[in-house]
Homo-oligomer: A and B are copies of this chain.
Amino acid sequence: MKRLLTTALLTSAMALPASASELRQMALDYFEPLPSTIPQMPDNRVTPEKIELGKALFFDPRLSASGVFSCYSCHNLTTGGDDNMSTSVGHGWQKGPRNSPTVFNAVLNIAQFWDGRAEDLKAQAKGPIQAGVEMANTPENVVATLNSMQQYRDWFANAFPEDADAVSFDNMARAIEAFEATLLTPAPFDAFLNGDDLALSDEQKEGLTLFVDKGCVSCHNGVNLGGNGYYPFGLIEKPGADILPPDDKGRYAVTDTAADQYVFRASPLRNVGVTAPYFHSGNVWDLKVAVQVMGTAQLGEEVSDEEADKIVAFLHSLTGTVPTITLPVLPAETATTPRPTAEVMPN
């Protein structure tokens, strides 16, 4: 009984939140709120014309060889910007190797994909379109598709007025990046950082304190609470093969450097409460379990149920407001539009 009481007192002391303004001051040492305007790209100025074109492209299933998949298929804007699966299903019903990350706020990540192999969203956008297990298309076929529809030719010309040949795979990627840059989801945590003491509940404030005190913040910091650095998964203790499959060596495949074995980009945590399942393998569905796995794997610490509940409560304060998105009306195919094919090409 005495021991129970001591534990309770200790836990309570540890989780005791500072005043809201002290907590905010501490939080601002590690985090920053979402910007109030669309981020600009130094090499791809975001314009209304690019955004409109990019939205059309994002929703267009004719960017895939089969006509089945669009960017939206795996980055579903109605369900947290991802697809609620361990790993995505693609062309020919093949399963992709890693969990689909959310597109929301992705523009603020330091690089894209779990291993950071794409330096930005326009580089990322070209990947799945060409991946045999995803959209299985080719740049040539995409450009032929887009060129076959006058409306797309007009949209590209308006979005890229300086280009004589505006319809290109690169410009497609630039436009998609511009649209994705608009997908910011301001959350209660931003309101707290911006000065609203009541935007977080007491439990969420305790969770935030724990998140910092326990060291989660070492990797999950910045505007996206992650997405800005690379760390070995299983730093202290490797999780099981269901969570960390031995065959996927992460960033090692990008850098070919031994030290990068099982290194991944720290997950950005915005909207983590609505984007299960978790980790690159996507085999953990419960956020509390994910928090506890992180405790043992990365911090060498058992996170108690009570602590994990509070951290999870805090993480839910990162669930943001999705911008209002109206569906584009896409142009119809013409006689010269390449026909969809469900055929699976041998590798």
| Chain A residues within CB distance 8 Å of chain B | 56, 59-62, 66-68, 73, 76-80, 83-85, 89, 92-93, 95, 273-276, 285-286, 322, 324-330, 332-333, 335, 339-340, 342
Cα distance A129–B343 in the bound complex, in angstroms:
24
Contact of A342 among B73, B79, B93 (CB under 8 A): B93
Contact residues of A: prevailing secondary structure: loop
Q: Are B83 and A342 in contact (CB under 8 A)?
A: no
> Smallest CB–CB gap between A216 and chain B, Å?
21
For A91, the closest partner residue in chain B by CB is B93
Q: Are A276 and B84 in contact (CB under 8 A)?
A: no
Q: How many copies does the complex hold?
A: 2
**Can you report 19 residue pairs joining A to B where beta carbons are below 8 Å apart?**
A59-B78, A60-B78, A61-B84, A67-B84, A67-B85, A78-B327, A79-B330, A84-B340, A85-B340, A89-B342, A93-B342, A95-B342, A276-B333, A285-B335, A322-B329, A324-B326, A326-B326, A326-B327, A327-B327
Residue in A59, A61, A79, A328 with the greatest tally of chain B CB atoms within 10 Å: A79
Q: Are A327 and B325 in contact (CB under 8 A)?
A: yes
Q: A322 — which chain B residues lie within 8 A by C-beta?
A: 327, 329
